[in-house]
Amino acid sequence: MLHVVLVEPEIPPNTGNIARLCLAAGARLHLVEPLGFSLDEKALRRAGMDYWHLCDVKRWASLAELQASEPTGRYFYFTTKSSRVYWDEVFQDGDFLVFGRESRGLPESLLWENAEACLTIPMEPNARSLNLATSVGIALYEAKRQIAGRR
């Protein structure tokens, strides 16, 4: 199983779209607090996430807590601040694909500490960024494609 990690997501519809992607791909979604929205039933329905109960979602107080619970996992940090393209990585079942908040991405300190595990999705120079759900979809399905091709 692949894992998608959202660190401090801010926009409920993005998280809903990503949860749907994870459900379709058979991946687990990890949400790292603080969240920029409520996960109560009413808020989820309002964001169009009526399938939430079908999704494999875990919530964590911090990224460190998640990593302590999965110490042997391989973590890949997606950022515009890397030159290493995601399709050059050889993904494995059990990998963690880590994405930052919509407004600021992942913390610079985390990227520096894990520079060898940072990946980017290439874009044209005039494009500032991609939507978070789009980025997750690109990375998640590339990882699935690679893993399926080796079976």
CA–CA gap between residue 122 and residue 13 (Å, rounded): 24
Is the pLDDT assigned to residue 48 strictly greater than 70?
Answer: no
Q: What is the largest CA-CA distance in the chain?
A: 42
If you average pLDDT over residues 34-58, what whole number do you get? Answer: 77
Domain ranges of the chain: 3-149
In 47-120, where do the E strands start and end? Answer: 57-60, 75-78, 96-99, 118-119
Work out the mean pLDDT of the chain and round it to a whole number.
92
- CATH fold of 3-149 reads Alpha/beta knot (3.40.1280)
Instruction: Kindly report, residue by residue over 4-15, the tens digit of the pLDDT.
Output: 999 999 988 889
User: Residue 16: what pLDDT?
Assistant: 86
Is the pLDDT assigned to residue 103 strictly greater than 70?
Answer: yes
User: Residue 34: what pLDDT?
Assistant: 95
